[in-house]
Amino acid sequence: MPSKTRKPAADAPATLNGLHHHAPGAGRGAQRERIGNGGELHQEVEHRGKRDGSGEGDGVAHLTDNFGHRIADNQNSLRAGVRGPTLLEDFVLREKIFHFDHERIPERIVHARGSGAHGVFECTKAIPGLTSASIFQKKGNTCPVFVRFSTVAGGAGSVDTPRDVRGFAVKLYTDTGNWDLVGNNIPVFFIQDAMKFPDLVHSVKMEADRGFPQAASAHDTFWDFVSLMPESMHMIMWAMSDRAIPRSLRMIEGFGVHTFRFVNAKGESRFVKFHWRPLLGMASTTWDEACKIAGGDPDFHRRDLFEAIAAGQFPQWDLGVQVFDEAFAAKQPYDVLDATKLIPEEDLPLQIVGRLTLNRNVSNFFAETEQVAFLPSNVIPGIDFSNDPLLQGRLFSYLDTQKSRLGTTNFHQIPINAPKCPFHNFQRDGLMQTLVPTGRANYEPNSLAAAGEDGGPRACPETGFTSFRGDDEHSSGDHQKLRVRAPLFADHYSQARLFYRSQTANEQAHIASALVFELSKVSLDAVRTRVLSRLRNIDEDLAARVAKGLGAALPPKAKAAREPVDMKPSAKLSIQKNAKATLQGRKVAILFAEGSDRKAIEGLRQQIEAAGGNVALVAPKIGPLKVKGGTLKADGQLAGSPSVMFDAVASILMPDQAKRLALDGACVQWFMDAYAHCKTIAHCEGTKLILARAGVEPGEGVVPIEGFMSVGTARHWAREPKVRDLA
């Protein structure tokens, strides 16, 4: 049998931050490395034809599996003998097939067929008076972009030229985050409300029972639906026009469709509609041509775009904006929040503010065009949403869909989706996490920086995204969009005080002890002090007790955002004030040993069970043990059944057994714990010897065996000061 050798490549390609990826299909010896960790700039570095320096391979990288093991033979699977069966241990074969089996991800429910390209956006006219968006602050500002054009109805492998709307999705990687303008080549839409989107899409896709027609709106269900939805008639005009059979993706217009908002640095807002204007002008085919192209070259548009860019004929679009205010909107005979309406340019001309140039084809179709995830919710400071109900629904849908397509909430880490500006937050973990955030600051607020640790990022009220409050009649008063809490939410202490003061004295002592225990484990002095300063707002006595328990000085009282008020204590908030004197659901242990009185044991058991309690017989040995009146088997062995497992304990022992057990540490501990935990201890005469050794003093809850039923499983808190310092 050939032995497999796995020599580590002494000169393995450099890795940065441990992230190294052999990009599939990236050419001879291509490796791709991602730099970036927790928000640094993500870069891609290509190494084409990189030699590994070993003298082997003539400049061609060694073929390896996904874990870096060099592969000696990529033609033959490993088998037992020349004609024997293939071996399961062939990890090379297994990995290759395993990976291949899982190469596909769900295609987009709409816009599955698409073609993408990289490029650049340049601001050609600064409009700081209209928007604070950084990209529009200065003429000449640029940012990288990725654009994906698509048809809507067809599957990923459908033809390029059906009669259909064309998607025109632009991702602008600005220095203040990604801005995704996910539009179409038609300025209006079929429906007014996102509620109808699933119906619209179901109706236009292949009919559910028969699975056809593919990539076509010319069928029953689509026309049935739109015939019942008169709001779609405007869009139908566009869809039946030559706009839906374009000559080239380079020759289509693009529209943001919805009314968005521009917000300037002063917080003033105007409505805006976005338009992309192709520098090549618009051009269409005839229907007959489109049909014939579908046969002649199903990839007509994808090829056309790819070849033009490869040839340096970079397609370009101007970005135009129609900007208007509430007064203009109010005067129109249509609602600007209705996505089935456009604003004629004769009424409101475009201002050209930027230029888009597509200048680089994708290097890998799947990694980029397939995995790109557009989110209309990706807006940047200076751009905001309107109340268009279609847009509002989209804000949820696109984020949601990525989880199902890309499988993880970490889809933003895929290079094509990652912002090119730094990003830092406290999101952590999740499927396919590729970043390695350091430190323990994964929450906020935190004061870890004060302790010399990395405290992580903080919100930026000045420059962070701030939703426009709204200034029309629908967004005044309570309808304003605000990130605030109502004034009474600022009372943080009144009810904490109410709770504390509603407890019994020893419940209060428990709270104080718990705080002492927890805070004694806190190694950050400032944190302990801060908690003490807040406790003073709840109850001065509590704060003083905790400080004393910690041996710490009482710090000044923290300033309350709103002064607490004294509320009348509520007995309902105490466990002890509401405890039930019942045996129901409780468990009582009866300790016995050889020679114990079976009748007495059974008698007690019956009484407890009759009252709804459960009994466990505990003995030094499991047995069956000889007892007075027969034999008895224990449910649990003494050392393995500590008294903490029971609500109360009882013991029925012969004096000589008790004498022996008084020397047994487990038995002494059994009673010691029951006593310290304030449980009922019902005992026979003989047990007294053990009780004495366990430090159990006669008193509340320590009763002769006959008295058990009158005491039951109540806890005897009056005993607590004897077993614990409650000061």
For ligand HDD, the binding residues (CB under 6 A) are 108-111, 114, 148, 150, 167, 169, 182-184, 189, 194, 197, 257-258, 339, 372-374, 390, 393-394, 397-398, 401
Beta carbons of 652 and 628 less than 8 angstroms apart: no
Closest approach of ligand HDD to the CB of residue 339, in Å:
5
Q: 668-675 long-range contacts, Cβ below 8 Å, gap at least 24?
A: 668/693, 668/694, 669/642, 669/694, 670/591, 670/638, 670/642, 670/643, 670/694, 671/643, 671/696, 672/696, 673/642, 673/643, 673/644, 674/643, 674/646, 674/648, 674/649, 675/702, 675/719, 675/723
Closest CB to ligand HDD among 194 and 435? 194
Rounded CA-CA distance 13/21 in Å is 10
Comparison of 364 and 576: residue with beta carbon closer to ligand HDD: 364
Beta carbon of residue 394, minimum distance to ligand HDD (angstroms, whole number): 5
Annotation says 716 is catalytic: no
**Is 417 one of the annotated active-site residues of the chain?**
no
Nearer to ligand HDD, 301 or 586 (CB): 301
Residue with tokens 């490029």: 119
In order of 427, 650, 702, the CA distances from 604 in angstroms are: 58, 9, 16
| Angstrom distance (rounded) from CA 148 to CA 166 | 10
User: At its nearest, how many Å lie between ligand HDD and the CB of residue 23?
Assistant: 21
Phi, psi of 376 (to 5 degrees): -55, -20
User: Given the structure tokens 């009763």, which residue do they identify?
Assistant: 703
Whether the CB-CB separation of 493 and 535 falls below 8 Å is answered with: no
Q: How far is the C-alpha of 562 from the C-alpha of 547, rounded, in Å? A: 24
Closest distance of CB 444 from ligand HDD, Å: 30
Residues 6+ apart with CB under 8 A from 240: 163
Give the three-class secondary structure for 644. Answer: helix
CA nearest 319: which of 162, 578, 459, 142?
142
Catalytic residue among 42, 118, 141, 184: 184
Residue with tokens 């529209």: 255
Which of 52/370 has CB closer to ligand HDD? 370
Query: d(Cα 94, Cα 87) in Å, to the nearest integer?
Result: 10
CB nearer to ligand HDD: pick between 169 and 542:
169
| Of 416 and 601, CB closest to ligand HDD | 416
State the pairing for strand pair 680-683/648-651: parallel
Tokens of 254: 């693009």
Residue closer to ligand HDD, measured from CB, 80 or 228: 228
Nearest alpha-carbon partner for 565 in 488, 658, 463? 488
According to DSSP, the β-strands at 177-184 and 142-151 are unpaired
Residue 184 contacts residue 254 (beta carbons within 8 Å): yes
Query: How far, in Å, CA of 24 to CA of 10, rounded?
Result: 22
Minimal distance in Å, beta carbon 108 to ligand HDD? 4
CA distance 638 to 648: 15
Active-site residue (options: 42, 69, 111, 510):
111
Toward ligand HDD, which CB reaches closer, 181 or 615? 181
CB 441 within 8 A of CB 454: yes
Smallest separation, CB 417 to ligand HDD (Å): 11
Q: Nearest to residue 164, comparing CAs of 93, 97, 99, 236? A: 236
Taking the complex as a whole, the smallest distance from the CB of residue 50 to ligand HDD amounts, in Å, to 33
> Taking the complex as a whole, how short is the minimal distance between the CB of residue 378 and ligand HDD, in angstroms?
12
Residues of 224-263 as b/e, b for ≥16 C-beta within 10 angstroms?
ebbeebebbebbbebbeebbbbbbbbbbbbbbbbbbbbbb
Packing angle of the helix pair 220-228, 197-204 (nearest 10 deg): 150
At position 638, the amino acid (one-letter code) is L
CA distance 714 to 265: 67
Give 339 or 601: the residue with its C-beta nearer to ligand HDD.
Answer: 339
Report the distance separating Cα 365 and Cα 543, nearest Å. Answer: 64
Q: How far is the CB of 24 from ligand HDD (least distance, A)?
A: 21
Question: Cβ of residue 130: shortest distance to ligand HDD, in angstroms?
Answer: 22
Q: Which two tokens stand for residue 335?
A: 């609602």
Whether omega before 422 lies within 30 degrees of 0, making that bond cis, reads no
**Helix H or strand E encompassing 602:** helix 598-610
| Choice between 255 and 468, CB closer to ligand HDD | 255
Contact 269, 325 (CB under 8 A): no
Sequence-separated (6 or more) residues with CB below 8 Å from residue 202: 208, 221
By beta carbon distance, the residue nearest ligand HDD is: 167
236 or 291: CB nearest ligand HDD = 236
606 in Cβ contact with 668 (< 8 Å): no
What residue type is 13 in one-letter code? Answer: P
Nearer to ligand HDD, 388 or 594 (CB): 388
Radius of gyration of the chain (CA): 38
Quick one: 322 or 651, whose CB is closer to ligand HDD?
Answer: 322
Active site residues: 111, 184
